Amino acid sequence: MSRILVTGGAGYIGSHACKMLRAAGHEPIAFDNLRTGWKAAVKFGPLIEGDLLDRDTLAAAFKEAQPEAVMHFAALSNVGESVKDPELYWRNNVTGSLNLLSAMRDAGVGKIVFSSTAATYGEPDQDPITETAPQKPINPYGASKLAVEAMLDDFEAAHGLKSIAFRYFNVAGADPEAEIGEDHRPETHLVPLVLDAAAGDRENITIFGDDYATPDGTCIRDYVHVCDLIDAHILGLDHLMQGGGSLRLNLGTGHGFSVREVIDAVDEALQMKVPRKMGTRRGGDPARLVCDGSRAKAALGWAPKRSVMETMVTDAWRWRQTGRY
């Protein structure tokens, strides 16, 4: 059994990582400041409350946990907020990550799996998007994640740190057993927003633009189930623990769903008609963002199992019906 420090372990993706690490025979230790995470989500190992910006607390956490590797999810991730308050994102995501890497170096921990993002690509002219696409982020959130990828490269060159950075596309779904799930406040992700409208907690779901160059006129995005996402992280961890080298990998299915198709999937799964209204386009929304995930499959043997929209919607709805946190 390996001890794994999971930063952001009380959040949506981090809590799923803790559950699945435990199931895989590891001991997860969550490190979280509970700013956007939930103490109730930490069910699968101990919680160390702390902030990556507090270097003393971070050093103490490594001394207490004695981890063999790190999974790093702790970050702010609201694109709109990052545009309005870039300082917050550069301080939290970049300075916090630098403190984490310094603490790893000081503690002699040389392996990390990092939660990056497809936002590092900006508005690519590739379809599907491969890992070789130019990384030209168009918002501070994407830029902050790209900066951390650069730090990982530099720490490998200077200190031998081995890392895997996974560039996510859209994450959806929830634990099939409904012990944990997605509960952002405020919520910005499409699937839970549609479910809120289905449950009557929102008046409707707004479709931002229906005049894109797509089959139904609405934006298309690649969605991956959160459990499939964590499967990849555990495969990546195994790769590093077995002496494998650093990797930069996309995580997505290679199949896009339009906004209308997501709403229709909720209609079908719940046997109802979700109220919706049309809105105007939002600035900076590309018509189509779909991932080429073949490198993750080739390097790690990763194959998504639950990343079917009906399954993602059904799992998320089951979690929502529990009352959330």
Residues with Cβ within 8 Å of 87's Cβ and at least 6 positions away in sequence, in order, are none
DSSP assignment letter at 277: E
Going by C-beta distance under 8 Å and a sequence separation of 6 or more, which residues neighbour residue 228?
Answer: 302, 304, 305, 306, 307
CB-CB contact of 54 with 9 (8 Å): no
Q: Which amino acid is at 168?
A: Y
Rounded CA-CA distance 163/90 in Å is 21
- Among all residues, which ones are annotated catalytic? 141
30 with 42: CB under 8 angstroms? yes
Neighbours of 175 (CB within 10 A): 21
Name the residue type at position 171.
Answer: V
List, in order, residues 6 or more apart from 251 with CB less than 8 Å away. Answer: 166, 167, 168, 169, 224, 229, 232, 291, 293, 296, 302
Quote the strand ranges of the chain, DSSP E: 3-7, 27-32, 47-49, 69-72, 111-117, 162-168, 170-172, 205-208, 220-225, 247-251, 256-258, 276-279, 288-289
Structure tokens at 322: 């529990």
Token pair of 61, please? 């956490």
DSSP-derived letter for residue 92 is I
CA distances from 200 to 81, 196, 208, 263 (A): 26, 6, 20, 15
